Amino acid sequence: MMETTEIRRLIALEDTHWWYRERRAILRGELRRLGRPGRALDIGAAGGGNTRVLVEAGWDATAADHSQTAVETARRRGIKAVRADARALPFETGSVDLVTAFDVLEHIREDHLVTEEIARVLAPGGHALIAVPCDMALWSAHDDAVGHVRRYGRDSLTVVVEKAGLTIDRVWSWNVLLRPLVARHRRGSRGSDLRRTPHLVNAGLSAVVRAERYLPVKSFKGVSLFLRARLQR
């Protein structure tokens, strides 16, 4: 689990940092593909940056996080939020149409319990959008500092999702173009990368990662994996 200090760092960064801004853009694109909005649950929501995207797109969205600091921050921002363990979600079976879980599974040893809970709370035909850090070759002091217990490969991610009873629609890599830079930086890392980036650097990194929206690079190795799945009707 992430420590309170790291949660606070994330919350302070998520509105402006290139990483979080582009992930919100990815989420918006996926929501357009899903069509008519319904009830959504954002697991591991931190301060609710992604939850706000859901609300803006018309979803009846609730943020869920294990951190009381995160829950209180989301509520101050006017977001519905509950404190919850992702392994035992306080939601009824079949009660939501969409679950988002960005950077959640890698923090929990019993990741299969999380995917089982995602499948349980989804209504038939409902969708899950999941993001995780990929490739143990990129493991560094950053992973230790933010409470990761693993990084995923495509096979390990798809297995834990499919065993929960979900049908995978798509898996793709993200942050492919910047992977060499990230790998070099992580080799010298001594702790968390959750820190403010100088404005010009932030703008430059944003431009590079935005280019992936248009380039055929999603099958190559990146820094993260995204997955879209559904519960069969």
Sequence spans of domains, the chain: 4-230
* Residue 91 neighbours by CB under 8 Å, 6+ apart: 41, 121
What's residue 1's pLDDT? 57
What's residue 3's pLDDT? 61
Q: Kind of pairing, strands 96-102 and 122-133?
A: parallel
Cα–Cα distance between 109 and 101 in angstroms, integer?
15
CB 182 within 8 A of CB 134: no
What's residue 193's pLDDT? 73
Cα–Cα distance between 31 and 58 in angstroms, integer?
10
The pTM is what? 0.93
CATH of domain 4-230: 3.40.50.150
pLDDT per residue as tens, the chain (233 positions) = 556 677 777 777 888 889 999 999 999 999 999 989 999 999 999 989 999 999 999 999 999 999 999 999 999 999 999 999 999 999 999 999 999 999 999 999 999 999 999 999 999 999 999 999 999 999 999 999 889 999 999 999 999 999 999 999 999 999 999 999 999 988 887 777 767 889 999 999 999 999 999 999 999 999 999 999 999 98
What's residue 111's pLDDT? 98
CB 31 within 8 A of CB 217: no
Closest CA to 220 of 172, 182, 184: 172
What's residue 189's pLDDT? 78
